[in-house]
Chain A
Amino acid sequence: MSEQTEFEPKLVGFLCRWCSYAGADLAGTSRKKYPANIRIVKIPCSGRIDPLFVLKALRLGFDGVLVSGCHPGDCHYITGNYRARRRLALTKKFLEYMGVDPRRIQASWVSASEAGKFTDVVTAVTNEVREAGPNRLFTEEKEKRATATA
Chain B
Amino acid sequence: MPQLQHEARALLEQGKVDYILGFEPGTLKFSTTPLITKNKEDCARLVVNPFIANNLSVYLPKLKGRLGIVVKGCDSRSVVSLIQDNKVARDRVVIIGVPCAGIIDLDKIEQLVSRERDEIDDIVRQGDRVAITLGNGKKEFPLVSVLADNCLACETPIPKECDILLDPTDTLVTDPSAGQQRIQEVESKSVEERWAFWEKQFERCIRCYACRSVCPVCFCERCFAEETEPQWVSPAPHWQDNMSFQIIRSLHVAGRCTDCGNCERACPVNIPLRSLSKKMVDLVDELFDYKAGTDKSALPLMASYEADEAEGVFR
Chain A positions near chain B (C-beta within 8 angstroms): 51-52, 55-56, 59, 72-73, 79, 82-83, 85-101, 106-109, 121, 124, 137-138, 141
CA distance A56 to B224 in the complex (A): 13
Whether A99 lies near B197 (C-beta < 8 A) is: yes
- Among A55, A86, A100, the residue within 8 A (CB) of B191 is A100
Q: In whole Å, how far is B215's beta carbon from the nearest beta carbon of chain A?
A: 17
Whether A108 lies near B314 (C-beta < 8 A) is: yes
- Among A55, A73, A101, A121, the residue within 8 A (CB) of B248 is A55
CA distance A77 to B186 in the complex (A): 39
- 20 CB contacts below 8 A, A to B, read A51-B251, A59-B240, A82-B305, A82-B306, A82-B307, A86-B288, A86-B305, A87-B302, A88-B314, A89-B310, A91-B251, A93-B287, A94-B250, A94-B251, A94-B279, A97-B186, A97-B283, A99-B196, A109-B315, A138-B240
**9 closest cross-chain pairs (CB), A and B:** A99-B195, A99-B194, A89-B310, A82-B305, A108-B315, A89-B313, A107-B314, A138-B240, A51-B251
Q: In whole Å, how far is A75's beta carbon from the nearest beta carbon of chain B?
A: 11
CA distance A122 to B227 in the complex (A): 33
Q: In whole Å, how far is B273's beta carbon from the nearest beta carbon of chain A?
A: 13
Residues of chain B within 8 A of A137, CB atoms compared: 195
Residues of chain B within 8 A of A99, CB atoms compared: 189, 191-198
Interface centre among B196, B224, B283 (most CB of A within 10 A): B283
Q: In whole Å, how far is A117's beta carbon from the nearest beta carbon of chain B?
A: 8
Does B37 interact with chain A (Cβ within 8 Å)? no
Does B254 interact with chain A (Cβ within 8 Å)? yes
Residues of chain B within 8 A of A55, CB atoms compared: 244, 247-248
Does B116 interact with chain A (Cβ within 8 Å)? no
Apart from A86-B305, A92-B313, A95-B247: 7 A-B pairs, beta carbons within 8 A: A86-B309, A89-B310, A93-B287, A96-B191, A100-B195, A107-B315, A109-B315
Q: In whole Å, how far is A136's beta carbon from the nearest beta carbon of chain B?
A: 9
B residues 257-315 near A (Cβ < 8 Å) are 276, 279-280, 283-284, 287-288, 301-302, 305-310, 313-315
The answer to whether residues A90 and B315 also contact, given A98-B198, A100-B191 and a CB cut-off of 8 A, is: no
Whether A89 lies near B197 (C-beta < 8 A) is: no
Q: In whole Å, how far is B291's beta carbon from the nearest beta carbon of chain A?
A: 15
Does B170 interact with chain A (Cβ within 8 Å)? no
Does B187 interact with chain A (Cβ within 8 Å)? yes
- Among B254, B301, B310, the residue within 8 A (CB) of A85 is B310
B residues 181-206 near A (Cβ < 8 Å) are 186-187, 189, 191-199
Residues of chain A within 8 A of B196, CB atoms compared: 99
CA distance A84 to B248 in the complex (A): 16
CA distance A101 to B195 in the complex (A): 10
The answer to whether residues A90 and B283 also contact, given A85-B314, A100-B195, A138-B240 and a CB cut-off of 8 A, is: yes
Interface centre among A83, A88, A97, A107 (most CB of B within 10 A): A97
Residues of chain B within 8 A of A108, CB atoms compared: 314-315
CA distance A94 to B246 in the complex (A): 12
Residues of chain A within 8 A of B279, CB atoms compared: 94, 97
Residues of chain B within 8 A of A141, CB atoms compared: 199
CA distance A98 to B244 in the complex (A): 11
Q: In whole Å, how far is A58's beta carbon from the nearest beta carbon of chain B?
A: 9
Whether B315 lies near A106 (C-beta < 8 A) is: yes
Whether A89 lies near B287 (C-beta < 8 A) is: yes
Residues of chain A within 8 A of B287, CB atoms compared: 89-90, 93
Residues of chain B within 8 A of A100, CB atoms compared: 191, 195
Interface centre among A79, A90, A137 (most CB of B within 10 A): A90
- Among A51, A91, A95, A109, the residue within 8 A (CB) of B314 is A109
**CB-defined interface of B216-241 with A at 8 Å, one 1/0 digit per residue?**
00000000100000001000000010
Whether B248 lies near A51 (C-beta < 8 A) is: yes
Whether A86 lies near B310 (C-beta < 8 A) is: yes
- Among A82, A85, A94, A96, the residue within 8 A (CB) of B280 is A94
Whether B301 lies near A86 (C-beta < 8 A) is: yes
- Among B192, B194, B302, B308, the residue within 8 A (CB) of A97 is B194
